[in-house]
Amino acid sequence: MVPTPRINWLILGAYILLSLAILIGAIVSPPLRGLAYAPLRDLLLPEPDPIVVDVLYSTEKAAWLEEVVVLFEQADPRVNGRPIEL
């Protein structure tokens, strides 16, 4: 049987270290959650607090703004993994 080349073991070790670093970083730092594997984000990590944006507008813009808010929310915008609420 042919032995596994050393470079393969080095690549495997680097991959495992990188995966562990991203896992720990995703748990500790919310901005890194976007890099984490999707099931990890959905099952293990709590949903980050949303960014709430208050908008002051006149009655003249109310109809337009209500239409645009629906489109904005459908796009599911996020900043560093945090959802944006209007």
Kind of pairing between the strands at 82-85 and 51-52: parallel
**Chain centroid to CA 28:** 13
Top-confidence residue, 2 or 43: 2
How many degrees, rounded to 5, is the angle at CA 76 between CA 73 and CA 81? 135
Residue with tokens 């270290």: 17
The reported pTM is 0.47
Chain-centre distance of CA 62, in angstroms? 31
Q: Is the pLDDT at 49 greater than 70, yes or no? A: yes
Alpha helices (runs of H) in the chain, residue ranges in sequence order: 6-28, 38-39, 62-74
Q: Given this model, what pLDDT does residue 33 score?
A: 67
